[in-house]
């Protein structure tokens, strides 16, 4: 896909998803976000960049970890997601938080300015993930750490058919390389190639729990990466994609809704001390 088109699809798609995202995904993504924060091991007073911070689910935790003497810079491609993040941070006792609309591949930030650079479940959407990793490395101080979380292997994510179901009805695939980083050692390899050392990756399984058809459909279509394409579907196309998606996740139907397998990979590496 043309990288500029991919950026537009992501930017305006996440704008559309913003009002649904927390309701649909905050519980489901918690295990991956908690592992990322554990591996980041943030300390009071540290200066932290969060790339693709979205609605601020992780940003709030980062602000609490570094405290009033720390500094947090959040960035995301979607202004509507950033608006949510601003609201999420309102109640927090942190003065030193800045939130800016920036593409992860071109961070308008100085070199060597942060102790840690985090990216939770954002790198799969970036046209050139290696460039985004290099940017995270550039803004880190020598010895600073980058911690990145992505979805895992396609075959271990029971909701994965949503992409071919939507892609069959649009001209260009929504997220062609979505599962690439989570496959095998790819994320760790990309981090090493981007110049990080001591790279360590951990893979976790999780279960996504949705209580009804409505909830699982809202999360899949309105609150995530296919939101842009979905917003343009007419009623009959929407009902066809709903039907196909529900059939694809039927094996995970339970008495209380759906319990869908998911997998995440989180990797950490350090910028070498020169």
Ligand X SMILES: C[S@@+](CC[C@H](N)C(=O)[O-])C[C@H]1O[C@@H](n2cnc3c(N)ncnc32)[C@H](O)[C@@H]1O
Among 24, 62, 65, 121, binds ligand X (CB under 6 A): 121
CB nearer ligand X, residue 156 or residue 253 = 156
CB nearer ligand X, residue 69 or residue 137 = 137
Q: Is the dihedral of CA 37, 41, 42, 44 positive or negative?
A: positive
Alpha carbon distance 160, 263 (integer Å)? 11
Cβ at position 25, least distance to ligand X in Å: 7
* Residue 104 makes contact with ligand X by CB under 6 A: yes
CB nearer ligand X, residue 8 or residue 251 = 8
Q: Please list, residue by residue across 146-181, b when 16 or more beta carbons sit within 10 angstroms of its beta carbon and e when fewer do.
A: bbbbbbbeeebbbbbbbbebbbeeeeebbbeebbeb
Cβ at position 165, least distance to ligand X in Å: 19
Strand 257-270 vs strand 253-254: parallel, antiparallel, or unpaired? antiparallel
* Residue 78 makes contact with ligand X by CB under 6 A: yes
* Residue 61 makes contact with ligand X by CB under 6 A: no
Alpha carbon distance 248, 227 (integer Å)? 19
* Residue 58 makes contact with ligand X by CB under 6 A: yes
In 3-state terms, what secondary structure has residue 231?
helix
CB nearer ligand X, residue 41 or residue 247 = 41
Please count the residues of this chain forming the interface with ligand X, following the rule CB under 6 A. 21
* Residue 53 makes contact with ligand X by CB under 6 A: yes
* Residue 125 makes contact with ligand X by CB under 6 A: yes
Who contacts 168 (Cβ-Cβ below 8 Å, separation ≥6)? none
Alpha carbon distance 198, 272 (integer Å)? 9
CB nearer ligand X, residue 57 or residue 201 = 57
Residues that bind ligand X (CB under 6 A): 7, 10, 14, 29, 33, 52-54, 57-58, 76-78, 81, 103-104, 120-122, 125-126
């Amino acid at each position: 896909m043309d990288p500029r088109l991919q950026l537009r699809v992501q930017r305006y798609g996440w704008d559309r998803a913003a009002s649904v995202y927390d309701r649909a995904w905050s519980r489901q993504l918690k295990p991956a976000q908690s592992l990322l924060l554990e591996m980041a091991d943030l300390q009071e007073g540290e200066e932290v960049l969060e790339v693709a911070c979205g609605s601020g689910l992780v940003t709030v935790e980062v602000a609490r970890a570094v405290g009033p003497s720390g500094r947090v810079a959040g960035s995301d491609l979607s202004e509507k997601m950033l608006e949510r993040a601003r609201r999420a941070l309102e109640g927090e006792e942190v003065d030193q938080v800045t939130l800016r609309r920036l593409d992860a591949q071109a961070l308008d930030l100085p070199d060597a300015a942060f102790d840690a650079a985090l990216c939770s479940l954002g790198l799969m959407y970036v046209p050139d993930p290696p460039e985004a990793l290099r940017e995270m490395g550039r803004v880190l101080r020598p010895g600073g750490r980058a911690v990145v979380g992505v979805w895992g292997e396609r075959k271990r994510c029971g909701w994965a058919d949503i992409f071919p179901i939507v892609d069959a009805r649009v001209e260009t695939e929504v997220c062609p390389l979505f599962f690439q980083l989570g496959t095998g050692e790819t994320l760790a390899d990309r981090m090493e190639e981007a110049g990080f050392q001591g790279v360590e990756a951990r893979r976790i399984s999780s279960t996504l729990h949705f209580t009804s058809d409505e909830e699982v459909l809202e999360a899949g279509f309105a609150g995530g990466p296919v939101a842009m394409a979905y917003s343009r579907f007419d009623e009959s196309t929407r009902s066809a994609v709903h039907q196909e998606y529900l059939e694809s996740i039927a094996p995970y139907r339970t008495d209380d809704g759906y319990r869908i397998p998911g997998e995440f990979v989180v990797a950490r590496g350090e910028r070498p001390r020169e």
